[in-house]
């Protein structure tokens, strides 16, 4: 198995030559990852990765969801199961290799091949016949010092890695990493308050009790809740956080009067808020989060419109984030108007808006970002971080907002070794699109090189205040 050096670049020879040059200029630039889900404790402990399946298959819901769709039970892939024995890990790996054909044409295959070839030097193509041999090769590599988490962090040239963290997290792993004299990398937390805004969700009153404990501020009324959240945001900022991440089914930001917000809050604490009231308060609280970002400087990111746990039995058995989340339609123009009328021109406020509904790229998000200085259009991720979707994104937004009003690439991964693969794919695809514009004489090659460097380094650094 070999990776073609021009993979994902344009097929037309002249444009490909330009793209090859542009990609070469940014191929080895450091990785900036402003949103992801890697556990910082793995870098703190720096223990060898346990086995190939636990590293490359089980934590990557892109991989497991496609295998599940092909009839492989999630438990057979180690999802939400105890740490596997060697025999169980080998069996998981065999199942993935046996179903290698289901990844054809998907970005998952491109990422996986990059990991196998570029990181681990594997030359065999996965299959039922090659599964055990590849597993043995990977096991041997993982036993080497150069394949431990910190060594790979350096090898991947990661300049910044942001994690995603609960507001009540003590961030002990981040603090320990920052204080470790043998560690020079930059790993920062991200404030993720979704569960604290969804006042109708199971366990919300208990979360308020916990919030009061860690903030040392009573949360038995609405002003106390607001003060506690502000305190936790300050705590995260003191530990290096630069952004707050939000994901709800919609992005409506309709305000409530203070008395009404307080009434619903009190009702929610005792389980008496209606579903409609809970949604109304959550929408108001999202507006409050924007107000807090204007005051404390945390970048506000929105990635809405996902039906979480679409298959209830799977969620009940395996928990969240196992690939059963499905996109739904979303509207931004009217939904964000209350927020943008109040804060859209506030100096220093950064609002990064992502979507899984690509129909809104040219209709809503690009026009919004083309007027409001606070708003940036987030790069495609999740179901859209695929070659054709990324190309469609650039075609949809560039004529309206150019490149400067976009976010830079977001890998959003729990699978540590996929980070360089995902960023490499983005760089190749952006090089292809920029090369087309050069070939069409939209701008010159020297400007194209500036654009590429800005997309890889400048955009994420500026947008996420890194």
> How does pLDDT run across 77-89, given as a tens digit for each residue?
999 999 999 999 9
8 Å CB contact between 34 and 408: yes
pLDDT range class, residue 421, cuts 50, 70, 90 = very high
* Same-domain check for residues 239 and 337: yes
- Please choose, from the candidates 108, 29, 32, 11, the residue with its C-alpha nearest in 3D space to the C-alpha of residue 68: 108
* Same-domain check for residues 320 and 405: yes
Residue 345 lies in a domain: yes
Q: Say whether pLDDT at 125 is over 90.
A: yes
The domain that contains 381 carries what CATH number? 3.20.20.140
pLDDT range class, residue 386, cuts 50, 70, 90 = very high
What is the C-alpha separation between 275 and 268, in angstroms, rounded?
10
Please give the backbone phi and psi of residue 300, each rounded to the nearest 5 degrees, phi first: -105, 120
- Please choose, from the candidates 344, 336, 277, 281, the residue with its C-alpha nearest in 3D space to the C-alpha of residue 304: 336
Average pLDDT value over all residues in the chain:
97
Average pLDDT over residues 272-279: 98
What is the pairing mode between strands 306-307 and 299-302?
unpaired
Average pLDDT over residues 240-246: 98
301, β-bridge pairs: 245, 352
Share of the chain above pLDDT 90, in %: 95
Residue 331 lies in a domain: yes
* Same-domain check for residues 142 and 159: no
- Which of 115, 147, 179 is the last residue before a domain boundary? 147
- Which of 128, 147, 166 is the last residue before a domain boundary? 147
What is the C-alpha separation between 228 and 149, in angstroms, rounded?
35
* Same-domain check for residues 243 and 346: yes
The domain that contains 90 carries what CATH number? 1.10.2020.10
Q: Say whether pLDDT at 463 is over 90.
A: yes
Structure token digits, residue 428: 């190749």
Q: Name every residue whose Cβ is closer than 8 Å to that of residue 278 and which is 6 or more positions away in sequence.
A: 198, 199, 200, 264, 268
- Please choose, from the candidates 320, 56, 58, the residue with its C-alpha nearest in 3D space to the C-alpha of residue 164: 320
What is the C-alpha separation between 262 and 264, in angstroms, rounded?
6
What is the pairing mode between strands 375-377 and 351-353?
parallel
Q: Is the pLDDT higher at 309 or at 162?
A: 162
Residue 355 lies in a domain: yes
8 Å CB contact between 197 and 250: no
The DSSP-derived string for 239-279 is TT--EEEE--S--------HHHHHHHHHHHHTT---HHHHH
* Same-domain check for residues 196 and 291: yes
* Same-domain check for residues 88 and 210: no
pLDDT at site 189: 98
8 Å CB contact between 465 and 350: yes
Structure token digits, residue 423: 């960023």
Q: Say whether pLDDT at 284 is over 90.
A: yes
* Same-domain check for residues 138 and 172: no
Neighbouring C-beta atoms of residue 331, cutoff 10 Å? 16
Q: Say whether pLDDT at 281 is over 90.
A: yes
pLDDT range class, residue 23, cuts 50, 70, 90 = very high
pLDDT at site 314: 86
State pLDDT tens for residues 249-264.
999 999 999 999 999 9
How wide is the angle at C-alpha 391 spanned by C-alphas 389 and 394, nearest 5°? 110
Please provide the distance, in angstroms rounded to a whole number, between the alpha carbons at the two ends of the chain. 38
CA 328 from centroid of its chain's CA atoms:
18
Share of the chain above pLDDT 70, in %: 100
The whole domain housing 294 covers: 155-463
Residue 279 lies in a domain: yes
Residue 16 lies in a domain: no
What is the C-alpha separation between 270 and 111, in angstroms, rounded?
47
8 Å CB contact between 353 and 332: yes
Residue 2 lies in a domain: no
State pLDDT tens for residues 305-357.
989 889 989 889 998 888 888 999 999 999 999 999 999 999 999 999 999 99
pLDDT at site 322: 87
Residue 44 lies in a domain: no
* Same-domain check for residues 85 and 120: yes
Number of domains the chain is built from: 2
- Which of 117, 147, 177 is the last residue before a domain boundary? 147
Q: Say whether pLDDT at 186 is over 90.
A: yes
8 Å CB contact between 63 and 106: no
* Same-domain check for residues 387 and 273: yes
Residue 18 lies in a domain: no
What is the C-alpha separation between 112 and 109, in angstroms, rounded?
5
pLDDT at site 196: 98
Q: Say whether pLDDT at 40 is over 90.
A: yes
SS3 category, 307: strand
* Same-domain check for residues 376 and 301: yes
Average pLDDT over residues 394-399: 97
**Site of tokens 């193509």:** 125
Average pLDDT over residues 215-233: 98
- Please choose, from the candidates 5, 109, 62, 3, the residue with its C-alpha nearest in 3D space to the C-alpha of residue 431: 5
Q: Name every residue whose Cβ is closer than 8 Å to that of residue 238 and which is 6 or more positions away in sequence.
A: none
pLDDT at site 417: 96
Q: List C-alpha distances in Å: 372 to 48, 342, 351, 405.
A: 47, 11, 10, 10
* Same-domain check for residues 56 and 196: no
209: left (phi over 0), alpha (psi -120 to 50) or beta: alpha
* Same-domain check for residues 331 and 279: yes
pLDDT at site 381: 86
């Amino acid at each position: 198995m070999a990776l073609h050096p021009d993979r994902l670049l344009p097929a037309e020879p002249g444009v490909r030559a330009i793209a090859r040059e542009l990609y070469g200029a940014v191929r080895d630039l450091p990785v900036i990852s402003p949103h992801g889900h890697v556990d910082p404790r793995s870098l703190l402990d720096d223990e060898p990765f346990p086995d190939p399946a636990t590293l490359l298959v089980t934590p990557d819901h892109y991989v497991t969801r496609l295998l599940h769709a092909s009839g492989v039970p999630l438990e057979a892939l180690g999802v939400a199961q105890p740490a596997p024995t060697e025999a169980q890990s080998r069996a998981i790996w065999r199942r993935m290799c046996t179903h290698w054909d289901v990844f054809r044409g998907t970005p998952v295959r491109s990422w996986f091949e990059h990991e196998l070839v570029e990181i681990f030097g594997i030359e065999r193509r996965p299959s039922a016949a090659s599964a055990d041999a590849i597993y043995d090769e990977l096991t041997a590599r993982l036993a080497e010092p150069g394949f431990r988490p910190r060594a790979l962090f350096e090898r991947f040239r990661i300049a910044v890695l942001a994690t995603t963290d609960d507001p009540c997290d003590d961030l002990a792993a981040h603090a320990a990493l920052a204080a470790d004299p043998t560690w020079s990398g930059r790993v920062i937390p991200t404030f993720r308050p979704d569960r604290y805004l969804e006042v109708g969700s199971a366990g919300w009153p208990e979360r308020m009790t916990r919030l009061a404990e860690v903030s040392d501020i009573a949360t038995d009324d609405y002003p106390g809740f607001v003060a506690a959240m502000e305190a936790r945001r300050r705590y995260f900022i003191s530990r290096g956080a630069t952004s707050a991440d939000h994901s709800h089914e919609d992005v409506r930001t309709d305000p409530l009067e203070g008395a009404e917000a307080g009434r619903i809050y009190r009702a929610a604490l005792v389980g008496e808020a209606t579903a409609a009231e809970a949604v109304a308060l959550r929408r108001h609280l999202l507006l409050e989060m924007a107000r807090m970002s204007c005051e404390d400087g945390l970048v506000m990111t929105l990635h809405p419109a996902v039906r979480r746990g679409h298959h209830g039995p799977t969620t009940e058995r395996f928990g969240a984030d196992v690939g059963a989340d499905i996109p739904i339609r979303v509207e931004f123009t009217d939904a964000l108007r209350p927020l943008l009328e109040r804060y859209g021109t506030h100096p220093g406020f950064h609002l990064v808006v992502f979507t899984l509904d690509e129909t809104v790229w040219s209709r809503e998000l690009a026009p919004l970002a083309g007027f409001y200085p606070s708003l940036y259009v987030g790069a495609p991720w999740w179901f859209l971080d695929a070659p054709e979707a990324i190309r469609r994104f650039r075609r949809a937004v560039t004529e309206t907002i150019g490149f400067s009003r976009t976010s830079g690439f977001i890998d959003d991964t729990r699978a540590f070794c996929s980070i360089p693969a995902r960023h490499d794919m983005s760089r190749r695809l952006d090089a292809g699109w920029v090369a087309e514009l050069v070939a069409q004489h939209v701008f010159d090659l020297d400007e194209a090189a500036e654009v590429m460097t800005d997309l890889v380094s400048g955009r994420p650094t500026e947008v996420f205040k890194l």
